[in-house]
Structure 1
Amino acid sequence: MKLLRYGPAGQEKPGLLDADGRIRDLSAHVTDIAGATLSPDGLNALRALDPASLPLVEGNPRLGPCVTGTGKFICIGLNYSDHAAETGATVPPEPIIFMKATSAITGPNDVIEIPRGSLKTDWEVELGVIIGKTAKYVSEEDAMDHVAGYCVINDVSERAFQTEHHGQWTKGKSADSFGPTGPWLVTRDEVADPQNLPMWLEVNGHRYQNGSTATMVYGVRFLVSYLSRFMSLQPGDIISTGTPPGVGMGQKPQTYLKAGDVVTLGIEGLGSQRQDVVQG
């Protein structure tokens, strides 16, 4: 299934994408794409519905973040061997973990706001993992039972805030609009191998990132198990699993976003995003 949320910001309704690419309204069956809806039982109940019986949503409504009620937005740094190489960093012996503020989460086609004082706002196409069942001290063998599905994420980053200021990376990752999420949550059963998904990102039509989750150092199964050692993972939590090479910081010369730019990105089978860049 492809689950989504549509409507004005803060007023989104739950929906489902049918086989013809049309939005069907789920409001009569669930209050939102969150919490218990993401559990195995909740997803099975939605699978039992006939999409043709659901109300058709007319027009082309705004898409909101594909999941809500996110308590934690957990990111993994330097998790692609080829991305680490382009930045001159070494692959860490354990995953680098940092947080992105949940207030950064926006819809997949909402604007990116360049923060005031920013000169180095960058892009990162990433595979998002959405938790569907509480995970605490889970084994790698059982880890995938706790995953509801996957989505596209643009881990927008301000490199000066991230690396040139003192402290942790979080302040370079958390500005409003720095977490476009969606367009939809693709349930785990529809993704045969999350470690073999082509992914791409373009700015103004120029392709900068053209990679694959195949070069991830730490895969989804390991990350869910690993993170559950340090914190419980709750339904709606998002894990953003790292980016392939081609970020602006890795260009020669370095290239960063400016007002008027258009960013497009996607992951095979998970949909695509489009963001206009504006000055915040």
Structure 2
Amino acid sequence: MKIVRFIHAGTQSYGVVTEGGVVDAGARLRPKFGDVTDVLTAGALGELEALTDASADFALADIRYLPPVKGANSVLAVGRNYGSAYADMGTNFPGHPSIFMRRHGSHAGHLEPLIRPKASQFFDGEAELAVIIGTGGRHIPEDTAMDHIAFYSILNDGTLTDWADHTSRNVSPGKNFDSCGAFGPWMVSRDEIADAHALTILHRINGEEIQNGSTGDMIFSIAQILAYVSTFTALEPGDVITTGSPGGIRPRREAGIYLKPGDQVEMEISGIGVLANPVQDED
């Protein structure tokens, strides 16, 4: 099951993606469930699954994509979690996951522009598998952690690298400019991904392959990440956790090559889809 958030004819909603297009779940389930997070909180995914055989209300080409999870919930990101990324840097693996936060406003939807801000020209991104929590909890054991996942998606971890390097311990300023990253195009239910650690991650800029890796290269597994995060904070339905990115981007940075207006960015994860965004300058 694929779930998308969107705007159609000026109305914001959410729906089920089918072969025919989009089934408008919001039109059918509101006011009981105002958004996908409400469905997750109520443990009512069956309400969405029941719509998978319904006739589509409109085509995907007729919607404006929104990030698949509405604001308010946490977006926790794991940095430098792939062996290939450490090979690029020539440093040793860490003893614990490196965690930082992203604002929901730092993410554009599928096909929406990535914004290069006036404050910096050192703009790039990294392809990441995003996990969306379905069942919350605290002190979650590793052996049951995957049961807490409802969906998977793609996140472009957009970064202003000079701002991320302002201090040695806090990358957050470089990760949170408006629409510097992207999230989408939709969420895919956990049951459709047989093995979340056997997915191919691709990153292309203007058709050129920048990253090509596997989620099997993660240093800390998804279960380990969820167990670690839930030790210091309770996870809630709708929380988003990104799981790091493979190597490949560092050579561009070292060569001084960064995103510029007119670039076309694509990030693809097998079993999920392609997240595509153009780049433009801040007004």
User: Shared topology, TM-score over 0.5?
Assistant: yes
Structure 2 residue runs without a partner (length 5+) = none
Residue aligning to 1:114: 116
Which residue of structure 1 lines up, in the alignment, with residue 22 of structure 2?
Answer: 23
What is the CA deviation profile of residues 258-278 of structure 1, one whole-angstrom value per residue up to 9, with x for unaligned ones?
112111111011111111111
Mind listing any 5+ residue stretches in structure 1 that lack a counterpart? none
Higher strand residue share: 2
Once the two structures are TM-superposed, the CA of residue 41 in structure 1 deviates from its matched residue by 3.0
CA contact (8 A) 1:32 1:68 kept: no
Deviation at 1:49, TM superposition (A): 3.2
Alignment of 1:70-219 (within 5 A): 70-165=72-167, 168-219=170-221
Task: Provide the secondary structure at the position in 2 that maps to 1:226.
Answer: helix
Residue 63 of structure 1 aligns to a residue whose secondary structure is: strand
Amino acid corresponding to residue 147 of structure 2 in structure 1: D
In structure 2, the CA distance between the partners of 1:21 and 1:196, relative to structure 1 (3 Å rule), is farther
Give CA deviations for 1:67-88 in whole Å, capped at 9, x if unaligned: 2144211010110010122133
Distance 1:62 1:271 in 2: 17
What are the Cα deviations for residues 98-124 of structure 1, in whole angstroms up to 9, with x where unaligned?
111222122122111111131211110
**Structure 1 pair 107/216, CA: closer, same or farther in 2 (3 Å)?**
same
Greater alpha carbon shift after TM alignment, 80-89 vs 209-218? 80-89
Distance 1:126 1:10, change over 3 A: farther
Residues 192, 21 of structure 1: alpha-carbon distance in 2 compared, 3 angstrom cutoff: farther
What is the distance in 2 between the residues matched to 1:171 and 1:252? Answer: 21
Q: In the aligned structure 2, how far is the partner of 1:115 from the partner of 1:138?
A: 39
TM-score w.r.t. the length of structure 2 is 0.91
Give the TM-score normalised by the residue count of structure 1. 0.92
Structure 1 pair 166/224, CA: closer, same or farther in 2 (3 Å)?
closer
Runs of 4+ in 1 over 6 A off after TM superposition: none
Structure-2 residue corresponding to 1:4: 4
Identity across aligned pairs (percent)?
34
Q: CA RMSD in A?
A: 2.1
